[in-house]
Amino acid sequence: MLRIRIPATSANLGPGFDSLGIALKIYNDFYFKKIDRGIKVRVIDKNTGQELNIPREKNLTLTAMERLFSRTDTEFDGIEIIEEVTIPLERGLGSSATAVVAGLVGANKILDEPLTEGDILELAIAIEGHPDNVIPAFKGGLIISVMTDKGLMFKKIKVAQNLKIVMIIPEFSLDTKELRKILPGSVDLKDSIFNHSRTALLMSCFYENDWDNLIYAMEDSLHQNHRAKLIPGFKEIVQAGYKAGALGVALSGAGPSILAFFTIDGKEIGQTMVEKFQDFEIKSRYLITGPDNDGLIVET
């Protein structure tokens, strides 16, 4: 029996569209067991205890495993997979990235590791289409992902544990693939300057543990405004978060969840932001968490 624990992630961190992501202390667990023949899979929602009925063709763990077995020219058979899911699905918290990473790492372990970590990361990016969830899900911390002409390179920053996160999670879900389609194909130079200056500032915040500048450093002008149109009251909820003491607020991934950094009172921030969502007739809840610096854990 093989167990893989993988953290949730918040991608597009502030101005870091498709390039910055942070791992969170919320986890999905994946169990792999050899059986005589066939492929069995069960997905259990740990929050409700209920089994989820996800069609096989939509199960990303299976998709990722199939990719690795076919890449290594081996037969995909005789495996039982149990997925214990705690990370809310389709809320911008990287639950699909955990499935992809688990499938690849699980299949690679079952086959006695024919692929390197680098191969697996490249495959994970190819399946997900962007690196900013899968790399922090794998490695933990705040990850800067850079796609070079030689492939992926990344840098991990261990995040100070005095920085905490409150995640506002609305009841409705959004599909990341659809959310990519609403983005423009090109951007203005001024928007690019807006984002790259803030990305540099954000990195200085994390290297120096300087949380006072997060309010500027977490702004974005590449994707957030486009996606916010699908999230009623987004601007007002962000403002409410700052008023309640948040240090930096931004869309989590492609949304619809909203991430707020804090060091002192996350409960107050969470309650205020949930109440503001309610003003726009959207039910939501908040979850207090923190940055995970460990990434995936494999137990045999």
Phi/psi of residue 124, each to 5°?
-60, -40
User: Considering the complex, what minimum distance in angstroms separates the CB of residue 203 from ligand HSE?
Assistant: 18
Measured from the CB of residue 27, what is the shortest distance to ligand HSE in angstroms?
A: 17
For the bound state, the minimum distance from the C-beta of residue 32 to ligand HSE, rounded and expressed in Å, comes to 25
Binding-site ranges for ligand HSE (CB under 6 A) = 11-12, 18, 92, 130, 132-133, 176, 180, 223, 253-254
Please give the Cα distance from 270 to 208 (Å, whole number): 26
CB-nearer residue toward ligand HSE: 74 or 192 = 192
What SS3 class is residue 82? strand
Residue nearest to ligand HSE (CB): 253
> Which is closer to ligand HSE, CB of 11 or CB of 62?
11
Task: Return the number of the residue (24 or 240) whose C-beta is nearest ligand HSE.
Answer: 24
Least distance from C-beta 254 to ligand HSE, angstroms? 4
The SS3 of residue 282 is coil
C-beta of 227: minimal distance to ligand HSE in Å?
A: 8
Measured from the CB atom, the residue of 39 and 89 that comes closer to ligand HSE is: 89
Task: Kindly tell me which of 98 and 108 has the beta carbon lying closer to ligand HSE.
Answer: 98
For ligand HSE, the closer of residues 130 and 198 by Cβ is 130
Q: Measured from the CB of residue 30, what is the shortest distance to ligand HSE in angstroms? A: 19
Instruction: Calculate helix-pair angle for 95-110, 117-128, nearest 10 degrees.
Output: 140
**Measuring CA to CA, how many Å separate 277 from each of 21, 111, 163, 224?**
25, 47, 24, 17
Q: Which long-range contacts (CB under 8 A, 24 or more apart) does 40-46 make?
A: 40/79, 40/80, 40/81, 41/80, 41/81, 41/82, 41/83, 42/81, 42/82, 42/83, 43/83, 43/85, 44/82, 44/83, 44/84, 44/85, 45/85, 46/84, 46/85, 46/86
